[in-house]
Amino acid sequence: MLARFAAAAVASVVLLGVSAPTGLAGALHDAATAYYANLAKVAKVTSRETTMDYYQRLLDDQDMLLNEPAPAGYDQATWEISTHGIATLDLSLANQLLTDTITPMASIRGLGETFVRSSKDGSLQPVAVYVPSTYVPGKATPLIVFLHGNPQSETQLLAPRFVRELAEANGTILVAPYGRGYYDFRGTKEDVYDALDAAEKAFTVDPRKRFLAGYSMGGFSVFEVAPDRPNTWTAVMCISGALLGSDAPRLLAFMRGTPFYVLTGLKDESIPTAYPTITASFLSQQGVPVSFYSLPGGIHRLISLMPILTLAWSDMLHDIVRSAPPALGNAVLPSQAPVAGMKT
């Protein structure tokens, strides 16, 4: 924690020592200056462990807007839409904290950011939300709680245009909790369910269509989080993640009848495709309804998996269970996730 604080403090000196940029980058610069000056105030309402996270986002977003080229899988226009979306959400988050004005979740239409009061310690925890244009209060609407990867934030998960277009095309509300940045959401599962509970109060959610999905680290986390309230979830989706052996007994005890959707890119350089493939095979061997999707050429970027994600997303919403992967014999689940960086 002290090391992260020191690094952010140095970054602040650098930031304040240069001429201020303009436009969205300029707004991030100004918000970072104000945020750093009000750290003590902000820490009273956020958990102290994450206060500096939101400040660092402002610095990272400014650098991303000014210096980062489009990564593999993105054209420049798509990347710019994503970066502007991320920066806008993070700026909203900081401004809400600075002005003591929290955006009501029920007021969000399209892409937005808000905070939810933690049932664990009373702190305010950030949640990114997408509400499709088809949403009408009083009309039951599908909801997906979406868990981000590592290192990644909830804003980085929902801001890309292709994620929002997928939700829009299927009339799905998306809710993405931050989970305090904890690895595998272990120790912050309450934040996930607090976000779900807040969404069910804010919107008319179809109780027959509540889904849990996760990408990368989040794809491992769904198997840890879902069994806490097994009857809550209509189905569970794992994207570029896997079931660990330590999580299997509890999952099978409480969720053997729940459909699972497992996705992988065959050229994933961070989470080897063997991990999700073994997961799907194991679940199938245990009699769990599982659908498996693999994409030749798919890498560890969510955008590269859109062809199979589009299909799996629709299948999940429409209760379609496809064929599981070929049997692999006695599938042995991994004991831990590989140490690799997330690539949005």
pLDDT in tens, 13-39: 334 444 567 799 999 999 999 999 999
Distance from C-alpha of 270 to C-alpha of 322, rounded to nearest angstrom:
26
Domain with CATH 3.40.50.1820 in the chain: 102-344
Residues 6+ apart with CB under 8 A from 200: 143
Residue ranges with strand state E in the chain: 110-117, 124-131, 141-147, 173-177, 205-215, 235-239, 260-265, 290-295
What's the CATH class of domain 102-344?
A: alpha beta
- Tell me the angle at which helices 23-37 and 51-67 cross, rounded to the nearest 10 degrees: 160
| 8 Å CB contact between 117 and 47 | no
Q: Which sign does the torsion angle of CA 175, 58, 46, 105 carry?
A: negative
Rounded mean pLDDT, 276-291: 95
Using a 10 angstrom Cβ sphere, with 0-12 exposed, 13-18 middle and 19 or more buried, the burial of residue 30 is middle
Radius of gyration for the alpha carbons in the chain, expressed in angstroms and rounded: 20
Bridge partner residues of 176 (DSSP): 128
Distance from C-alpha of 271 to C-alpha of 266, rounded to nearest angstrom:
10
Residue ranges with strand state E in 229-338: 235-239, 260-265, 290-295
Q: Supply the pLDDT for residue 333.
A: 93
pTM of the model: 0.92
Residues 6+ apart with CB under 8 A from 117: 123, 124, 125, 194
> Which of the two residues, 326 and 150, has the higher pLDDT score?
150
Phi and psi (nearest 5°) for 144?
-120, 120
**Residue 255: pLDDT over 50:** yes
pLDDT in tens, 159-184: 999 999 999 999 999 999 999 988 88
pLDDT in tens, 35-70: 999 999 999 999 888 999 999 999 999 999 999 899
Rounded mean pLDDT, 207-234: 97
Tell me how many degrees the CA angle 178-298-211 measures, rounded to the nearest 5. Answer: 40
